[in-house]
A and B are shown apart, each in its own frame.
Chain A
Amino acid sequence: MLPLLGAALSGLLAFLAGIFEDSESNAGSASNPNSQVQLAPQIGHRHRYFNKAISGEPPANALWVTTAATVAVLLSVRLEAMGTLYSVILSSVIGALVSALLLGLYGILAHISRIASMRTFRQPLYWDAIFSALPLGISFGFLTAFSLTLLSFTAGMMLNNPFSVPLIALLLGITIGSIGSATGDIHYGAERLYQHYMFGSGIPIAKQGDIDIKGEYGYRNSVDTPYFTLRFGAMVTAFAFGLLIFLDSLSRVFDFAGVWTSVIVELGIILIIFIVTVRLEKYTRDKYGPFMR
């Protein structure tokens, strides 16, 4: 019963972490589409997007989550008298707070440096662009770190993963970063930043940097971005990461082939996903048809 409960809880936490991670990266233009935000002033678009790309999304998330998990592990030992559950939750909150502060510090310095490097192209540093978007990014960062720290504790304590909790957090941080950067970012990079282009086309390479800088109310800023991407991009990220953690945990709940059970179950799941992906490609080809030039 405990492994099944652990698998369900892991899946839920991973799903939530996926939503928060994608929203955090979109609020801060932290991943691949940041190149478009960075290009915009060079082709004459002065924007109010927050741009805090410091590194790839995977190492950045690994840093936030490992920081939170390390602080949480140290604190949970001190708070052991409160009982395991309460000590884990409280120490995870404090750990995530520390990592959110770190994210805020990096975020503000990275944004100012990024914008300062665009001085040649007369891109101003808008204070409102910092002070409206940064707290949102920090909040999503806090929630990501909190969810993943709890997920690391769940993997370590309920699913009996032999790695230490900070190492589980590091591995999960890199994995969620690469999934978030590979899935949810398409909705932000190809659709939100280019909303003035027709739906149903990739963005021509010659048009890159020509991002949409006007929003529903005046100039668009990075608070508007998660408002848009939460409806689809964040859900796709959550679907991928949540399902990965849930299915991987679930594959160890069964036992019909001894130690090979999880491998056989995962191979079956991979085959099903491959077939679904091929069917999806066929569906889109039939539905959209060849590109109308």
Chain B
Amino acid sequence: MEPVTAFFAIILGGVLVGICVHFIPASATGAMSAATGIATGPSMLSAGAGMAGLLSASYSIDSGLSVVLASGATASALMVALTILSGNIANAFGTGVPPASGQTASGQSITGKSTKDAISGWDQKPYISPGTDGHGMPVQTNFSGLIGAFIGGTGGALVLFAVYTLLVPILRQDAAFTISGFIAGGVFLINCVLPAYTLVGKTEGMFDQKIRKTPKTLVSCFIVSSVIAMIIYIAAVVIQ
């Protein structure tokens, strides 16, 4: 990868991470089975998935860009899939509630006034506990979470590979790799937190009305990732 390509890859990776947070269903009040989504903040959950992706992508760094991206994406998706399954197990057998989408049940999701799950077609309204905004992760949010994890994992792995490409000519290989890991983790964390301002602590993923706010996140993630990419590019290529 050429240094200039790597510069743009860091920006693209950062923006992909920002987008992924909009797709991963999460809500802190999910811990009280009071809202649909994985029971933690969207930013923190995406960060966890991204770190799992980075860890997996690191094994295949010598196998080329496409394998690194695929490894990052699948490991992130594996983390989200397992978390959704475990969260639903906790809701089903710990709290005794079936998964149900609050926003779909109230006819306010992006699919219109239908109260049925967009993928399974199962009605959500009768299964909501009164006074809550849903609980657990029904099929449509599960699907959205997996797409989000694929996007985020790809973004994180892209940053890792791009930074590694920039650093490896000027540093020892293991040092370049570890520093790339730290920078990729940092870029992931920064871009995960930025969407928190548009999501305000809760999202049901791609069927939530908040998905319409993704362009705002795109702009902020683009600006932040550009600054980071510029610093790394200057440090690795310009100053020698």
Contacts and interface: CB of A to CB of B under 8 A. Distances in A.
A182 B87 contact: yes
A208 B89 CA distance: 23
Contact of A185 (B31, B77, B89): B31
B108 interface: no
Contacts of A290: 126-127
A266 to B, nearest CB: 4
A77 interface: no
B60 A232 contact: no
A125 to B, nearest CB: 25
B86 A291 contact: no
Contacts of B129: 201-202, 204, 291
Interface in A230-287: 232-233, 236-237, 239-240, 243-244, 247-248, 252, 259-260, 262-263, 266-267, 269-270, 273-274, 276-278, 280-281, 283-285
Contacts of B51: 170-172, 174-175
A161 to B, nearest CB: 6
A220 to B, nearest CB: 17
* B-side interface size class: 35 or more
B158 interface: no
A205 B139 CA distance: 24
Interface stretch (A86-94, A97-105, A129-137, A187-195): A187-195
Contacts of A124: none
A291 B78 contact: no
B40 to A, nearest CB: 4
Interface of A: 31-33, 35-36, 56-58, 155, 159-164, 167-168, 170-172, 174-179, 181-191, 193-194, 199-208, 232-233, 236-237, 239-240, 243-244, 247-248, 252, 259-260, 262-263, 266-267, 269-270, 273-274, 276-278, 280-281, 283-285, 288, 290-291, 293
Given A167-B178, A172-B55, A203-B34, 5 more contacts: A172-B51, A182-B38, A274-B143, A285-B98, A285-B122
